[in-house]
């Protein structure tokens, strides 16, 4: 998929663990793992909003478009 | 009684009755062929067979193969309904089974039509087909439509499976 999720690097920068973020934004660690590994088919605006609020970043810091062609 | 359980029960009864009829037909036909005389009246297109020529043997064998296919169709329909009762919907098994049932219904209907047509030509010596629409659910076109409906239903299930997967992978 040409959309890359840079959640790992953002978590590292903020020195935060995955399960901690999952708990703060109210989703399961399994779902956060789906998002981190790029297996997710869609992201709810509410989830994106919560992630941005907790990590103090913009959606563009987490999501990146890379053309595969 | 809930509808799925009633459906399961009806299919179970159908399967048991069909299995006994099929086994009986195979045994009687084999005995008739080996002994040379008919213990039980064997009919093709409503005509009782009195002598067994290679053509009638082929026709009766083809009817038996169709009987086997009908038995198999009811068997996989039973499996499908049992799978539905487990509660998990839109699985790969259900999609494949619905498609298979549809294909089998179409195959059986067309094969039956061909055998009836050949039976008319070879036994009655009259050419004709029974493709008109009768006032019953047993007409050729209606059963063909049911077969196509099962295939269409399998496509709908596949679509639903994709949507379900997408929903499950929405974070």
The interface predicted TM-score (ipTM) is: 0.73
> What pLDDT shows up at residue A46?
93
Domain assignment present for A45: yes
Domain count, chain B: 1
CA distance, residue A53 to nearest chain B CA (Å):
16
Which residues of A lie inside 8 Å of B (Cβ-Cβ)? 27, 31-32, 34-35, 39-44, 47
Higher pLDDT, B40 or A65: A65
3-state secondary structure of B96: helix
Nearest to A7 by CA among A47, A67, A46, A26: A47
Domain assignment present for A66: no
Query: Residue A39's domain is classified under what CATH number?
Result: 1.10.260.40
Higher pLDDT, A36 or B42: A36
- B124: pLDDT strictly greater than 80: no
**Which of chain A's residues have a Cβ under 8 Å away from the Cβ of B169?**
34, 39-42
Domain that holds residue A28: 3-56
B124 CB near a chain A CB, below 8 Å? no
- B40: pLDDT strictly greater than 90: no
The band of A68, judged by pLDDT with boundaries at 50, 70 and 90, is confident
Judged by average pLDDT, the poorest of A2-6, B7-11, B154-158 is A2-6
Percent of chain B with pLDDT over 70: 85
Query: Is the CB of B165 less than 8 angstroms away from the CB of A31?
Result: no
Quote the mean pLDDT of chain B: 87
> What pLDDT shows up at residue B130?
62
A-B interface: how many C-beta pairs under 8 angstroms? 23
Query: Is the CB of A42 less than 8 angstroms away from the CB of B170?
Result: yes
Cα distances (angstroms) measured from residue A10 to each of A27, A41, A59, A64: 17, 21, 11, 12
Whole-number Å distance between alpha carbons of B48 and B66: 19
Nearest CA in chain B to A28: B171
Domain that holds residue B149: 3-168
> What pLDDT shows up at residue B30?
86
Domain count, chain A: 1
> What pLDDT shows up at residue B129?
61
């Amino acid at each position: 998929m040409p959309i890359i999720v840079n959640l790992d690097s953002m978590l590292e920068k903020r020195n935060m663990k995955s399960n901690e973020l999952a708990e703060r934004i109210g989703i399961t660690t399994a779902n956060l793992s789906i998002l981190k590994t790029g297996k997710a088919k869609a992201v709810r605006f509410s989830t994106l909003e919560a992630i941005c609020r907790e990590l103090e970043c913009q959606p563009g810091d987490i999501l990146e478009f890379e053309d595969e062609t | 009684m809930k509808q799925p359980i009633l459906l399961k029960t009806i299919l179970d009864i159908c399967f048991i009755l069909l299995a006994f009829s099929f086994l009986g037909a195979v045994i009687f036909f084999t005995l008739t062929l080996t002994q040379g005389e008919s213990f039980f009246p064997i009919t093709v297109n409503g005509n009782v067979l009195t002598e067994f020529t290679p053509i009638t043997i082929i026709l009766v064998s083809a009817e038996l193969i169709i009987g086997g296919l009908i038995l198999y169709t009811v068997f996989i329909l039973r499996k499908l309904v049992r799978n539905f009762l487990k509660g998990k919907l839109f699985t790969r098994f259900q999609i494949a089974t619905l498609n298979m049932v549809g294909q089998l219904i179409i195959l059986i209907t067309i094969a039956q039509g061909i055998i009836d047509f050949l039976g008319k030509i070879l036994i009655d010596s009259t050419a004709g087909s029974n493709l008109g629409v009768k006032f019953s659910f047993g007409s050729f076109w209606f059963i063909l439509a049911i077969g196509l409906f099962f295939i269409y239903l399998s496509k709908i299930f596949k679509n639903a499976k994709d949507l379900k997967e997408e929903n499950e992978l929405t974070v």
